[in-house]
Amino acid sequence: MQILFKDTGKIRFDKWLAYKFPEKSREFFNHNIKNGKILLNKIIVKPSIKLQINDEIDIDDKIFEQFKVELLPNKTIKLKIVFENDDFAIIDKPAGLLVHPVKADDNNTLVNALIHKWPKIINVGDDPLRPGIVHRLDKDTSGLMIIVKNQLAFKSFKIKFQNHKVQKIYMALIYGKLKNKSGTINTPIARSKNKFNHRKITLDNSGKEAITDYEVIKEFEKTSLIKAYPKTGRTHQIRVHLSSMSNYIIGDNEYGSSRINKKYNITRQFLHSTELIFDYKREKYHFISKLPKDLSTWLKQFEQVD
């Protein structure tokens, strides 16, 4: 197997491989790099070497032959099910819950809860570590998600997302005020070359189209409550777009302002998936989730601070 590295130039070789193949540990890749089973630009290197853009990685496929993905059900994670039928379910994900494992021993994710609730979902999808998952929310983003319960439904929803036939609406509290009370942010997004798994806006050909509509719901002295309507599905899209205009999402530790976050003392990003709208089998569905208690409580405090 050969991989052309396109992510970032500031991550260890073994660490990136463990991220790319979460079913295997960093120690596994460390061992195989040292034994020459994984080469970098055709030579044996140290596992600690930092990767560079366009590095060539050659992996001996035989090192994976004895491996089988095993996800463990977790009955301790409670699911808030908004709706379900034979084909899909709508859940209201709490903040702080990862959607799927990012390393082999992750058993406290949404996926682990799903396979306990619906065991047959283990075979649904095109990624063995993401059964039933057709879209995702960041760990600290709360709100509505579609969970797919069989392969035909998975293919149907996958096409819907590819064709932008699922409308997702988010509620966010941002710093400052927007010049226009409604509008569109149309700026391409690319991977950062300086920080692993980080995104940035770009005006060159390295970026992918990213479009976010927005609407101001309420303004305070120094913050604004908005609805965001992503028209494309780029990673961290809403957070990156708002950050690019210095209208940071309050509480966003990745793309926000530490000074602003410290002022408001919020422990997670104020971003909530509040509505999902789509058609399925000639029926229209519209689901709504109110702000969870932590965000509604913080909103009242922000009103007092402002």
Between β-strands 182-186 and 142-148, what pairing exists: parallel, antiparallel or unpaired?
A: unpaired
Could you give the residue numbers annotated as active site? 138
Question: What one-character DSSP code corresponds to residue 9?
Answer: S
Residue 1 per-residue DSSP state: -
Distance of alpha carbon 240 from alpha carbon 243, whole angstroms: 5
- Dihedral of CA atoms 239, 80, 166, 164 in degrees, nearest 10, equals 40
CB 234 within 8 A of CB 208: yes
Which residue bears the tokens 């797919």?
A: 148
Q: How far is 228 from 168, CA to CA, in rounded Å?
A: 8
Q: Where are the alpha helices (DSSP H) in the chain?
A: 13-20, 26-34, 110-117, 151-162, 237-244, 258-264, 293-305
**Tokens found for residue 197:** 């798994």
